[in-house]
Amino acid sequence: MSARAGIVVTGTEVLTGRVQDLNGPWLADRLLELGVELAHITICGDRPEDIEAQLRFLADEGVDLIITSGGLGPTADDMTVATVAKFAGRELVLDARLEAMINDIVTRLMARFPNVDADAVRASNRKQALIPEGAHPLDPVGTAPGVVVPGSPTIVVLPGPPRELQPMWHTALQDPALQEAIAGRTTYRQETVRMFGLPESGLADTLRDAEQTVAGFDRLEITTCLRRGELEIVTRYEPDAADSYAALLALLRERHGREIFSEDGSLVDEQVARLLTGRRIATAESCTGGLLSARLTDLPGASAYVAGGVVAYSNEAKAELLGVDPDLIATHGAVSEPVAEAMADGALRHFGADTAIAITGIAGPGGGSEQKPVGTVCFSLKLADGITVTRTMRLPGGRSDVRERSTTVAMHLLRRALTGDAAAIG
């Protein structure tokens, strides 16, 4: 059996849902990449007895490694290190090197706040230099250091903010106690296939057939997920099961070659960014309120190809900002293919772009009709060379689902148009 791990996410704000847990899923992915089996992710509040209960539970489950996140600050409710020390039967001791490092960090921070008592702040932060005796300190990324506590299980204590936890995890990986804890890990390969335009039921049918036709199918650990209207198929396997994965991939290509858009795990956003090299794109959005522009500009380097975008929510804005003829709206309605095309034309003109895409729809929950129910969305893609692709789709889900899925449809329209396959969008 492979080395096993558990994750304890601490913080009352996470437990109550006020703050979303980003650390548990991120650490889970890192463990899977290492070939370490993840047994449990638990979330508990900032109470020593609850934190200790989670540690005890995971230890009783026989895990080799426990990772905690959160509770490393200077305040009274930051008590993870003290709780871990008690659990591991170790005294807390002051690490002079850490104390000096934290003092230096705090002194630099306090220079921005001359009216704050820097000595008092340094005194409160001294708590963060206390670590379990014999533990291996991890230098702070913010002000809070982490620690690796050798033992059975080994415990890695990391801060809560993801911007601090993530780089510290990579440092912790070099620690000999952590390496010893995961020495029994299994080497895995992990592959990701992404599809668009296929219902989950269609993929489920194919996977059921694969159970009967793919030799060694039971050696493939397959996870499927519907995300933003796309299907993600993640397959993990040991290297000697590569032929089984190749057979599965061949079956997926045979059944769903049209729907597969990524076999290397790349996202449609990344593919569109590459396809827009040397082009200038503009957006015209109504129901999505700028979400498509946000996706296009989310990747670094977007300024090289994104010219700009217009959120024309009202009919007046469509007319004034994009030059849509009010008679066109009166005749066909704001949610219509002629209006979507006019919006795309307006974006091309307004920004002097060579590529434009427009979205107008009914996100709900109100505003629908028998002819145009909630979820009706019109898309129009225009290229300066004369290519126009216009589609109307009925998207499922609530308001946020319709808006988010609309951006996914738009990204795939772009991808297919820029690869000469726009007619495939149905």
Condensed to tens digits (0 to 9), the pLDDT of residues 161-218 reads 999 999 999 999 999 999 999 998 888 899 999 999 999 999 999 999 999 999 999 9
Helix (H, G, I), strand (E, B) or coil at 268: helix
Hey, what CATH class is 189-260 in? alpha beta
Position 105 scores a pLDDT of: 84
What gap in Å lies between CA 127 and CA 395, rounded to an integer? 53
Q: What percent of the chain has pLDDT over 90?
A: 84
- Architecture of the domain spanning 268-424: Alpha-Beta Complex (3.90)
For residue 267, give both structure tokens.
Answer: 């996202």
Position 238 scores a pLDDT of: 92
Helix (H, G, I), strand (E, B) or coil at 246: helix
For residue 296, give both structure tokens.
Answer: 């296009």
In DSSP terms, which residues pair with 376 in a beta bridge? Answer: 394
- Please report which residue ranges of 16-147 form alpha helices under DSSP H: 23-34, 48-60, 80-88, 96-110, 118-125
Of the pLDDT bands very low, low, confident and very high (cuts 50, 70, 90), residue 426 is: very low
Nearest residue to 382 (alpha-carbon basis) of 350, 413, 419: 413
CB 292 within 8 A of CB 311: no
Tens digit of pLDDT for each residue in 121-155? Answer: 667 677 889 999 999 999 999 888 999 999 999 99
In DSSP terms, which residues pair with 236 in a beta bridge? Answer: 190, 221
CB atoms within 10 A of CB 151: 18
Tens digit of pLDDT for each residue in 302-344? Answer: 999 999 999 999 999 999 999 999 999 999 999 999 999 999 9
Helix (H, G, I), strand (E, B) or coil at 386: coil
For residue 421, give both structure tokens.
Answer: 């396959």
Nearest residue to 384 (alpha-carbon basis) of 339, 419, 345: 345
Position 122 scores a pLDDT of: 67
Tens digit of pLDDT for each residue in 243-275? Answer: 999 999 999 999 999 999 999 999 999 999 999
Position 416 scores a pLDDT of: 94
CB atoms within 10 A of CB 94: 11
Position 208 scores a pLDDT of: 97
Position 74 scores a pLDDT of: 80
> What is the pLDDT of the chain when averaged over all its residues?
94
- Using CA atoms, how far residue 262 sits from 214, 268, 340, 412, 416, in Å, is 21, 8, 29, 12, 13
Between the two ends of the chain, the Cα-to-Cα distance in Å is 47
Question: What's domain 4-182's superfamily in CATH?
Answer: MoaB/Mog-like domain (3.40.980.10)
Q: Which amino acid is at 87?
A: F
Q: Which amino acid is at 151?
A: G
Of the pLDDT bands very low, low, confident and very high (cuts 50, 70, 90), residue 1 is: low
- Taking phi first (over 0 means left), then psi (-120 to 50 degrees means alpha), and beta for anything else, what does residue 17 get? left
CB 273 within 8 A of CB 305: yes
The predicted model scores a pTM of 0.82
Instruction: Using DSSP bridges, classify how beta strands 281-285 and 306-311 pair: parallel, antiparallel or unpaired.
Output: parallel
CA neighbours closer than 13 Å in the CB half-sphere of residue 196: 21
Residue 30 has pLDDT above 50, yes or no: yes
CA pseudo-torsion sign 303, 273, 290, 22 = negative
CA pseudo-torsion sign 338, 340, 343, 349 = negative
Position 118 scores a pLDDT of: 66
CB 71 within 8 A of CB 46: yes
Q: Which amino acid is at 308?
A: G
Give domain limits for the chain. Answer: 4-182, 189-260, 268-424
Position 179 scores a pLDDT of: 96
Residue 224 has pLDDT above 60, yes or no: yes
Q: Give every CB contact of residue 164 below 8 A, 6+ residues apart in sequence.
A: 140, 141, 142, 144, 158
Question: The tokens 């979205």 sit on which residue?
Answer: 359
CA pseudo-torsion sign 18, 23, 29, 35 = negative
Helix (H, G, I), strand (E, B) or coil at 341: helix
Residue 352 has pLDDT above 70, yes or no: yes
Instruction: Using DSSP bridges, classify how beta strands 65-69 and 4-10 pair: parallel, antiparallel or unpaired.
Output: parallel
Position 307 scores a pLDDT of: 98
What gap in Å lies between CA 322 and CA 357, rounded to an integer? 12
